[in-house]
Structure 1
């Protein structure tokens, strides 16, 4: 995250939370933006909790909480988003809708992407997280996707928190554990001589090294939601690589070499 405006905005939110001695929430953050809150110094006057509504969520809001506020007997942390289920009015005559179709429908409302969390797609329906700021507008704006008439409804969104004040630790329980179970991966195991971006794009997308370089040069590769255009960029462990036209991959690296002097890695492709 190198956008000075974004960093200054986050700084302002942290200062504001301290001044009003109350919880301040961000909009949904991408993976790179979340690093700001993960890297706050330990002596900060606030702590931050990142939460996207369910286990394995990628896009999350941050709750910025003054440390003194934690000891208030009336402490209340309530992330301002709702879980929405969207499905065809008539499943029998509906198109097969993809993640791109649902995302396109949401952004076509004119609402910024930061108002939406993850989108989980099933065979004939999808779930998405929506900021309460725009919830009513979005629900009333989407009546069809492609040629399919759809209906949306809010799913029960009770988020349970157990706060251990003396340790300043939050244990967060997702309101729909089954949502996490809907996320499916195809696992790819391989060995590589290095963790260069062009090598991993070639491996993940099953294209030649030259094609991988072309894809990178076309600015179609994102690491933790940030565009990367250097072929020799070394991927960090447990990052998310998105390649437009090919999909999204969770990259899990092993830094121990095998007998052939190569590294093991695991690619989890979202399907």
Structure 2
């Protein structure tokens, strides 16, 4: 028979969820199976960041607007895009955050320098021919087939049970230890992230031309720590540097309730219509 099993896919089970299903037959034999669920690297604290306008003149004013979980503490950064081109692998991302986890999955019975494999206490059986009603039957060796013990071992689970989790050992082939085998399934699950769009576009009013001397050319424009209010909003008024470039900004936030979150990278293009 078949049955349908559902469970919620949440950020708490990323990046990998492993499910074990098993049943115990009346004679004590255990039948088991397992499946791996690759879960998208989602962070629980959702962060949205955007500039009031996507373009601006050097030395003009703009506003950086942030939305996240209420009462979060956020770090904001905006740098020249050339900085990110030098070492793109150093960019903070959901994957790089999850890579910091010391232990993401457990497989097998190896711990440090110890191999915690166990010998089966069940006696071996022989593959003797059977004569029944004038017919000679030759048993088929189950060599290469896994059992419940192999599945539990693949999941890194040690169990204490009197049930039958080992398949019979064949005396002719296995005089000592059982051969090691692995069994695993793989099912991909897509973690769905609810994206919030807070994009606000404003037209740039150039107005009357003003003569200015361009002298502020930093590689790092914004490097600030801000707190959001009870509604989860924060704004930062800034002046665009004199560099004619594209600025890349992002933010990460922490909260005692929602945890850690990271915003997508947003851009602002600083341009000058005419140079004299």
Kindly indicate which of the two structures has a greater share of residues assigned to helix. Answer: 1
Question: Does the TM-score normalized on the shorter chain lie above 0.5?
Answer: no
TM-score by length of 2: 0.20
Higher relative contact order (CA 8 A, sep 6+): 2
If you compute each CA radius of gyration, which structure gives the higher value, 1 or 2?
2
